Amino acid sequence: MVSKILIANRGEIALRVLRACKELGIPTVAVHSTADADAMHVRLADESVCIGPPPSRESYLNIHQIVAACEITGADAVHPGYGFLSENAKFADILDAHGITFIGPTADHIRIMGDKITAKKTAQELGIPVVPGSDGEVKPEQALEVARKIGFPVLIKATAGGGGRGMKVAKSEADLDEAISTARAEAAAAFGNDAVYMEKYLGKPRHIEIQVVGDGEGNAVHLGERDCSLQRRHQKVWEEANSPALNVEQRMKIGQICADAMKKLKYRGAGTIEFLYENGEFYFIEMNTRLQVEHPITEAITGIDLVHEQIRVASGRGLSVTQDEITFSGHAIECRINAEDPRTFVPSPGTITHFHAPGGLGVRVDSGAYAGYKIPPYYDSLIGKLIVHGRTRVECMMRLRRVLDEFVVDGIKTTLPLFRDLVSNQDIANGDYDIHWLEHYLAENPA
Ligand code: ADP
């Protein structure tokens, strides 16, 4: 068993992890930059260490400082949350070399899934369905032949990609040269690596992802899917579990494929296998080897605390459940409350003057915000997550409408008004949307 956990993160996820540790009776260490000295995760932790000035590279990404904080406090395990160092294989290696447990997968698994081409190849070998495409990198002189084989439209993607950068669609042969050269130029500028590969472009897919957890010894389970199709610039905005597009057979089939793959891989910890879904088919796009922002909707419908599971497997205690014991109950929706303009999404840091979080049956608010809290301008703009659960999707939507009316955050702009619009929209009510829906909606409904 680990005896003291250092949480190498901030904001709502640091608080989330801290809560799990407290329930398990494990002492916690918060780390923080000078900008976060008053943050809730620092106040609620048993101990805290200031690890540097506001910029992330000097604090939350500063591996030396984090290892030093472990040594000073005697923490023997680190939970990385999401973002920051959560998918940094070197960090996992360094902790290992210091005899500190990384609460996450092995450094090798992080590396495999962190590279788009090896991730796709590995997924395919493990029996996971992938998007038809090139066999690894495509050089400009091979592009036409490869594209003809795949069939237009095709998508050119940076092998080092991330955040949707270095991605270009070629609708036909006429577009191909330009798509290749702009994708390569963007990739070189963003990642210092101009290598690209090619995939069939799917026109109207949904984004559906499967939550998995493994014990690192060959046992693994899936916890069903999340539908994260409502996105803006590839950023998820609203997530649901289960997906309005899948039935039970489809869920259990793709879930089992993912669980079996994780057993073969001997995967340790929580992970998410992301797919595009179109015309009844799943196409692997990537695997995230960490806890995701939207994990609470899975917790709502399964009753399983994913952070407890992460800590258990990191401690060598195995999973607390078998696949047969996992059941899916009702429907859950998460809204990401960002300190941003609800239409332009321009960040709106500042001081929250009034904060009232809603309550009642089936309501969870994960947030470190409070009245008087000053949102620092240095980090991402997520200030909280609203998670609503109901016995059915209809009940969940009715509850969400009530809860959004009750939620008050004054002093800054937030995305709450956008959710108040979406919860009353007919397409959303019908569950009838794909990954482009929100962009179209925003274009048609400007401020
Ligand atoms: P990144 O790591 O840059 O975010 P992903 O491979 O995860 O790249 O893809 C990001 C987004 O791009 C997906 O969520 C989807 O919206 C779109 N996308 C990726 N691959 C395809 C494809 N083959 N066809 C259509 N859209 C795609």
User: pLDDT tens digits for 302-342?
Assistant: 999 999 999 999 999 999 999 999 999 999 999 999 999 99
Q: How far is the CA of 204 from the centre of ligand 1 (A)?
A: 12
* Beta carbons within 8 Å of 268's beta carbon, 6+ residues apart: 104, 105, 106, 109, 214, 215, 216, 313, 314
Mean of the per-residue pLDDT values of the chain: 96
Cα separation, 437 vs 427, whole angstroms? 9
Q: Which residues contact 126 (CB under 8 A, 6 or more apart)?
A: 260, 261, 264, 265
The best mutation among 118, 167, 208 to test binding of ligand 1, ranked by most ligand atoms within 8 Å of the C-beta, falls on 167
**What contacts 395, CB < 8 A, 6 or more positions away?**
330, 331
The tens digit of pLDDT for each residue in 422-444 reads 999 999 999 999 999 999 999 99
Q: Are 289 and 104 in contact (CB under 8 A)?
A: yes
**Residue range 339-366: mean pLDDT, rounded:** 96
Give the number of residues written for the chain: 447
Residue (of 82, 38, 148) closest to 374 by Cα position? 38
Please give the pLDDT value at position 175. 95
Q: What percent of the chain has pLDDT over 90?
A: 95
Give the alpha-carbon dihedral of 170, 174, 179, 181, to 10 degrees. Answer: 160
Helix pair angle (63-73, 89-97), 10° resolution: 30
Per-position b or e across 339-359, b if 16+ CB within 10 A of its CB = bbbbeebebbbeebeebebbe
Average pLDDT (348-373) is 97
Instruction: Give yes or no: 233 in active site.
Output: no
* Residue whose pair of structure tokens reads 């015309």 in the numeric block: 279
Does the C-beta of 164 come closer than 6 Å to ligand 1? yes
pTM given for the model: 0.96
pLDDT surpasses 90 at 166: no
Confidence at 387, pLDDT banded by 50, 70, 90: very high
Burial 21-48 (b: 16+ CB within 10 A, else e): beebebbbbbbbbebbeebbbbebbebb
Decide: 275 and 284 in contact? Cβ < 8 Å: yes
> Is pLDDT above 90 for 246?
yes
User: Closest Cα to atom 13, ligand 1: which residue?
Assistant: 234
pLDDT of residue 226: 98
Instruction: Give the residue-averaged pLDDT of 142-159.
Output: 94
The response to whether residue 437 sits with its C-beta less than 6 Å from ligand 1 reads no
| DSSP E strands, 34-172 | 47-52, 77-79, 101-102, 154-158, 167-170
Confidence class of residue 162 from pLDDT cuts 50, 70 and 90? Answer: confident
What is the number of the ligand 1 atom nearest to the C-alpha of 165?
Answer: 3
Which pLDDT value is given to residue 398?
98
Average pLDDT over residues 47-68: 98
The catalytic position among 290, 312, 336, 399 is 290
For 268, other C-beta atoms within 10 Å of its C-beta total 24
Amino acid identity at 47: E
CA 206 – CA 420 distance, rounded (Å):
22
Question: Omega before 153 cis (within 30°)?
Answer: yes
> For position 234, what pLDDT does the model report?
85
pLDDT level of residue 380 (50, 70, 90 thresholds):
very high
Q: Is 131 in the pocket of ligand 1 (CB under 6 A)?
A: yes
Ligand 1: residue of 276, 282, 294 to mutate (most ligand atoms within 8 A of CB) is 276
* Mean pLDDT value across residues 127-143: 94
Average pLDDT on 375-396 reads: 97
3-state secondary structure of 80: coil
Q: How far is 341 from 25, CA to CA, in rounded Å?
A: 40
Q: In 326-429, where do the E strands start and end?
A: 331-338, 350-351, 354-356, 363-367, 374-375, 382-390, 408-410
- pLDDT on residue 233: 86
Contacts of 80 (CB under 8 A, 6+ apart): 8, 9, 86, 88, 91, 102, 103, 104, 290
Nearest to 272 by CA among 209, 333, 222, 323: 209
Per-residue pLDDT tens digits for 69-128: 999 999 999 999 999 999 999 999 999 999 999 999 999 999 999 988 999 999 999 999
Task: Look at residue 264 and give its three-state secondary structure.
Answer: helix
Mean pLDDT in residue range 236-251: 97
pLDDT over threshold 80, residue 225: yes
Instruction: Tell whether ligand 1 has an atom less than 6 A from the beta carbon of residue 163.
Output: yes
From its phi and psi, is residue 224 left (phi > 0), alpha (psi between -120 and 50) or beta? Answer: left
Ligand 1 center from residue 143 Cα (angstroms): 19
pLDDT band at 159 (very low <50, low <70, confident <90, very high): confident
